[in-house]
Amino acid sequence: MKKILVTPRSLTAPGPHPELEPLVAGGYELVYCSPGVRPEERELLHLVAGCVGYLAGMERITARVLEAAADLRVLSRNGTMLDNVDLQTAARLGITVHSADGANTRGVAELTVALMLAVARAIPLSAASMGRGEWERVKGFELEGRTLGIVGCGRVGRLVAQIASAGFGMRVLGYDPYPPEPPITLPAFELVAFDRLLRESDVVSLHCPPLDNGSALITTRNIHLMRHGVVLINTARGSLVDFDAVLEALEGERIFGFATDVYPEEPPESHPLFSHPRVITTPHVGGYTNESVSRASRLAVTHLLDSLQNLP
């Protein structure tokens, strides 16, 4: 039987995974990494040998791993981003690479809105206070009439803009170096330059890929362009935000609150930012819903089967 390596944590944890049944029905043997964890390069080098397909998660897929996969023909991510894959090496080796574009859009967008509300109303801080038997009230603010800045107007950014506009009556500014297609036609939406978005937004939400050079987008310089008391949300990529700069801005009260679901390395090393009372951290759960995982897995499996069946 031809083998397919399966590594997403949601699919290697114990329990039946009906999304994988089409692969078994197609005559493929499934090879799993250690359950429920993100595999390291050493484990991948051992497992990938002899596999014609690879249903991949968020682990780093290096040139060494791809070069060790002499039989690999198709790699299919059960997520949208491919920055964890050495795409140049994959192209050189003739390995077809797919992503599950759009599968986790709803999950990430809804988490973004949830984090926005949680920061604006200091929900974790209030809950922690009650848990300690205290009665500490923090005055929050309402979203209606506020300005939301969306950095990156792809699927997720577009949906967050729609929810914020229709659900909360927010004015929405968008920045994207590539004009969104189809155009966003919300009544209170405007595409603007990046600096203007920072200056006019009460909430800034990141929905863009990492910068090509790996540097941060939210730096001390850009924080100083923002409105005093801004809320910053990041559900895109951890490398976009300079944690030290954000911590300094929080302590100086330039930033009202910060919420992040993503980190430069995952799991992240400890950072003083994570224990700040006006910071909310979640362990990269944006697309970790029953619906998003099922959509992404089904799409990744479909890409694998279609590509493997159409090989010359």
Q: What is the pLDDT of residue 14?
A: 79
Task: Measure the CA–CA gap between 152 and 171, rounded to whole angstroms.
Answer: 16
Q: What is the pLDDT of residue 52?
A: 97
Q: Which two tokens stand for residue 111?
A: 């988490």
Burial 171-186 (b: 16+ CB within 10 A, else e): bbbbbbeeebeeebeb
Task: Measure the CA–CA gap between 303 and 23, rounded to whole angstroms.
Answer: 11
Model-level pTM? 0.91
Put the strands of the sheet holding 28-32 in their side by side order. 28-32, 2-6, 51-56, 74-77, 96-98
Task: Measure the CA–CA gap between 186 and 179, rounded to whole angstroms.
Answer: 15
Q: What is the DSSP letter of 269?
A: P
Q: For residues 161 and 172, is the Cβ–Cβ distance under 8 A? A: yes
Q: What is the pLDDT of residue 278?
A: 96
Q: What is the pLDDT of residue 81?
A: 85
Whether 2-103+289-309 shares its CATH topology with 105-281 is answered yes
Task: Measure the CA–CA gap between 29 and 5, rounded to whole angstroms.
Answer: 9
Amino acid making up residue 301: V
Q: What is the DSSP letter of 255?
A: E
Terminal alpha carbon distance of the chain: 18
Question: Known catalytic residues?
Answer: 237, 266, 284
Mean pLDDT by 10 residues, the chain (312 residues): 92 86 95 93 96 96 98 95 94 97 96 98 96 95 98 97 97 94 93 98 96 95 97 97 98 97 93 97 94 94 95 76
Q: What is the pLDDT of residue 23?
A: 96
Q: Domain limits of the chain? A: 2-103+289-309, 105-281
Q: What is the pLDDT of residue 275?
A: 96
Of the candidate CATH numbers 3.40.640.10, 3.40.50.720, 2.60.120.20, 3.40.50.11030, the domain formed by 2-103+289-309 belongs to 3.40.50.720
Task: Measure the CA–CA gap between 20 and 140, rounded to whole angstroms.
Answer: 45
CATH 3.40.50.720 is the classification of domain 105-281: yes
Q: What is the pLDDT of residue 199?
A: 98
Q: What is the pLDDT of residue 128?
A: 94
Q: What is the pLDDT of residue 106?
A: 97
Report the Cα 182 to chain-centroid distance in Å: 22
Backbone angles phi, psi at 284, to 5 degrees: 50, 65
